[in-house]
A and B are shown apart, each in its own frame.
Chain A
């Protein structure tokens, strides 16, 4: 019998049930690690470290989880907070504007079979905020309000970053696939 997340959370909080927490990690590791990979620019090792820290932080804070957002959304919020704090400490920020993106794009057309790879490359040419918004919306399937909760952004900022990201993607993909 598969227990819902809420029941597993109660077991962890009430009786420190490690097996129940393991079940929660197993269920949500893919979403958290994929999000961490997006944040880390595809660095799988760094992303897994971030994901591991996220789950440990979640374990410590589980008694404060009130169910106001879905559990995976809460986890992604923790991951983003940790990433933002680490990035603030490193004082590194990389931003590309759309002109740089389009001129940096590889002009050779890509075959249809490579379009998923194209998308990954194209996403990396967006600004970090646009990448994150597009990833959460289209790759994780979150709603705009859920993205706002994860990133602690106003809803308007989410929509702006998504619109800008899509505009850039449209231009990049058009350059790469001029026959389209």
Chain B
């Protein structure tokens, strides 16, 4: 169907307006694999492989290997930092041998975890509606 009259008229009686409204809407495009391509191009899920996490694990593993090598029979004498650390660890173990200190430490850890988990909910408690 073609427009009968293209001379200017008020919008509600404009044949071009009516013709555009009737004829212009575009036909829906078939998907043709578009959705699949978009999903394939999305960034990987957050819990998947991460170079940063891999580097962190590798650094930890190498540190552990270095400590093991230093403490082994074939390595050089321990560096001062490890001597200091061994002293701190021994004192901590002695401290935790007292059940009350162990209980207090466990309680503090649980409290910190609860605060961390509920921090958003707690923040909302302080919001004031006017």
A interface residues, Cβ below 8 angstroms from B: 16, 18, 21-22, 25-26, 29-30, 33-34, 48, 51-52, 55-56, 59-60, 112, 115-116, 119, 134, 138-141, 166, 169-170, 173-174, 177, 180
Chain A: minimal CB distance from B43 (Å): 7
Return A26 CB to nearest CB of chain B, in Å.
Answer: 5
Q: Kindly list chain A residues whose C-beta atoms are within 8 Å of the C-beta of B3.
A: 173, 177, 180
Number of residues on chain B facing chain A (CB within 8 A): 29
Q: Does chain A have a CB within 8 A of B38?
A: yes
Residue of A21, A33, A56, A177 near B2 (CB, 8 A) is A177
B29 in contact with A119 (CB, 8 Å): no
CA distance A56 to B16 in the complex (A): 38
With A29-B38, A119-B23 given, name 8 new contacts (CB 8 A).
Answer: A16-B45, A25-B35, A33-B29, A34-B26, A59-B42, A138-B25, A173-B3, A180-B5
Contact with A along B1-22 (1 / 0, CB 8 A): 1111110100000101100110
Residues of B within 8 A of A51 (CB): 34
Instruction: Identify B29's interface contact among A34, A55, A173, CB under 8 A.
Output: A34
Interface residues of B in 69-107 (CB under 8 A from A): none
A residues in contact with B37, CB < 8 Å: 52
Docked CA distance A134–B26 (Å)? 12
- Determine whether the beta carbon of A119 is less than 8 Å from that of B35: no
A51: nearest residue on chain B (CB-CB)? B34
Shortest distance from the beta carbon of A84 to any chain B beta carbon, whole Å: 21
